[in-house]
Amino acid sequence: MTAGSVAAPAAPSVPDGAGEESLAIETRGLSKTFGAQRAVDDVDLRVPRGSVFGFLGPNGSGKTTTIRVLLGLASASSGQAWVLGQPVPRSWAQVLPRVGALVEGPGFYPFLSGRDNLRRLDAADPTASPRTRRARVDDALDRVGLTHASSKKVHAYSLGMKQRLGLANALLTPRELLVLDEPTNGLDPQGTREVRHLVRSLTADGTTVFVSSHLLSEIEQMCDHVAVMSVGRLVAQGSMAELQAQGARRLRLRTPDPTEATATLTRLGLSVDREGDLLADLDDEHRVEDVVAALVAAGVRVRGVSVEGETLEDRFVALTGEGFDVAG
């Protein structure tokens, strides 16, 4: 792991068991309390290998605390966790070299250049080859768009430049798993776009990317899977497509026979609203084609029918409550 702020793994406090090999990260009943507060509350995360996995939730919902526990920067209060199939923190020694991380801005030396900081950090990694160091450092700087500023001292870097340097640090050697806590924090719109593009490109070689954000738009654009946190609890997880499919759906029906149509829909067990057209909430038991067939069989003339789905934004706002940031 290459996060500048990473300390020695915490003492084992999470009991071991078998982790699933197909998952890059797995937790079962993971909890972390601070006094009376349950910052992370009984979380069962399942992060498929090779995914770009968005860890989404409002500020203070427990994302960073979860990440800190997964990386051995804090100990869990209860529950189990596996990273790349290995129980952590017990097996951190084996897992550590296979994980890159960007958490809370790595600690850089302010009076060294960006390039020299990366060289020092790489030299501190016993698994990194000194022979290829120069090329790897230059490549990482290039990938995050910092080549032009690589000779500048870090104290003259903006927050966004420091964030990019932190990302470059996580990219110094190929990793099976990258954990990025709010990687676009402090970046301008152009930098944000570049980081999104970079994150998506990282999975080309099979790397799993676990990326936290409080912005839905960001996760939507970068990720194929998502987990949603709210007040310490995991309130949803799955592929983006699955989450979209889980949202509420409404049938909108245009007909010259609203009375008969309402009677038929009610008989099918659907609640009906009138809004010019007829609106009926669909559920798993009522497929659109069956409802339309029933209407036609009852002699209802159908002029138009459409299904309106909840947007991901509607869905996430419903899951996390008010005040959720949806725009970038």
| Site for ligand ATP, rule CB under 6 A | 34, 39, 57, 59-65, 214
Measured from the CB atom, the residue of 69 and 140 that comes closer to ligand ATP is 69
Q: Least Å distance between CB 208 and ligand ATP?
A: 20
Q: Least Å distance between CB 239 and ligand ATP?
A: 22
Measured from the CB atom, the residue of 228 and 265 that comes closer to ligand ATP is 228
Closest CA to 116 of 144, 149, 163: 149
∠ at Cα 300 (296, 304), nearest 5°?
A: 85
143/48 Cα distance (integer angstroms): 25
Measured from the CB atom, the residue of 161 and 234 that comes closer to ligand ATP is 234
Measured from the CB atom, the residue of 63 and 115 that comes closer to ligand ATP is 63
Measured from the CB atom, the residue of 118 and 219 that comes closer to ligand ATP is 219
The beta-strand segments (E) located in the chain are: 23-34, 37-43, 46-48, 52-56, 78-83, 86-87, 99-102, 177-181, 208-213, 225-230, 233-239, 249-254, 272-275, 277-282, 304-309
At 153, which helix (H) or strand (E)?
none
79 touches 27 (CB < 8 A): yes
